[in-house]
């Protein structure tokens, strides 16, 4: 098929998240982010605010992954 249904997309996202949690590095990042609230600490205590270049770069990365994962393949 040349299109992906919402169920297929949600399933692939769920599998991606499950793989990240199962991977040692991914589990460590989840642990650091959830348990120790590193991002919240950076925003509240260190007064870190992502600028437009941080957000644009993150959006470009996510768009690139979407192109790779959901490109029509025959």
Of 32, 10, 11, the C-alpha closest to 21 is 32
pTM: 0.47
pLDDT of residue 56: 92
pLDDT of residue 2: 54
Q: pLDDT per position in the chain (74 positions), as tens? A: 556 678 888 888 888 888 777 776 666 766 766 666 766 777 777 788 888 998 898 899 889 988 888 888 87
pLDDT of residue 34: 67
Cα of 53 vs its chain's centroid, Å: 17
């Amino acid at each position: 098929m040349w299109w992906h249904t919402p169920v297929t997309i949600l399933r692939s996202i769920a599998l991606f998240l499950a793989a990240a949690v199962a991977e040692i590095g991914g589990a460590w990042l989840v642990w650091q982010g959830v348990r120790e609230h590193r991002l919240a600490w950076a925003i509240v205590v260190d007064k870190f605010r992502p600028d437009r270049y941080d957000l644009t770069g993150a959006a470009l990365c996510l768009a690139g992954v979407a192109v790779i994962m959901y490109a029509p393949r025959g």
